[in-house]
Amino acid sequence: MTTTGPFIHSGQTSRKIMVMVLVSLAPILLAAVVRYGAGAGVVIACAVAGAWLTELVLDRAQAFDCSALVTGAIFALLLPPTTPWWLALVGGAVAIGIGKHAFGGLGCNLFNPAALSRVLQTGSRMGPAAAGRSGGRRRRVWRLCRSRCGCPARA
């Protein structure tokens, strides 16, 4: 029976790698807060907190390797700065709970956990676009589609 990878080891730990990723994300996170204001800071803080707390509950041994912080930060960067704080918190938790641990943990995930959480959030109509901000646009697009292709009216 073979063991799981990595088979070629560089001496770096997961924690060191994740800290390097966080350091590389820091300028982007800072730029988001500078450009979009405190709303972006709240979104970032809530997404990171949701991801880390979920990691702490589901796998206390890996909670301190910083991978949840990276996932939360990436997820926060996928959200608009006007996203409600609770949506960022839930999305961070979903990224870790479903995107990472449902597939077996660190390195075993089929999809990027942050991107999967964003897709699930948008698909579940919980995302910022479903909060009433784009309903009028969707109706206009539907009317345009009906008028051009003769689609039947929606019930």
Tens of pLDDT, residues 3-48:
555 566 777 777 888 889 999 999 999 999 999 999 999 999 999 9
56 located within any domain: yes
| Percentage of the chain modeled with pLDDT above 90 | 38
pTM of the predicted model as reported, rounded to 2 decimal places:
0.73
Cα radius of gyration (the chain): 19
Q: Could you tell me how many helices (H) and strands (E) the chain has, helices first?
A: 6, 0
pLDDT at 34: 95
140 located within any domain: no
135 located within any domain: no
49 located within any domain: yes
Round to whole Å and give the CA distance between 155 and 150. Answer: 15
Range(s) of the domain holding residue 48: 14-124
- Tens of pLDDT along 121-139? 887 766 555 554 544 555 5
91 located within any domain: yes
- Give the total number of structural domains in the chain: 1
134 located within any domain: no
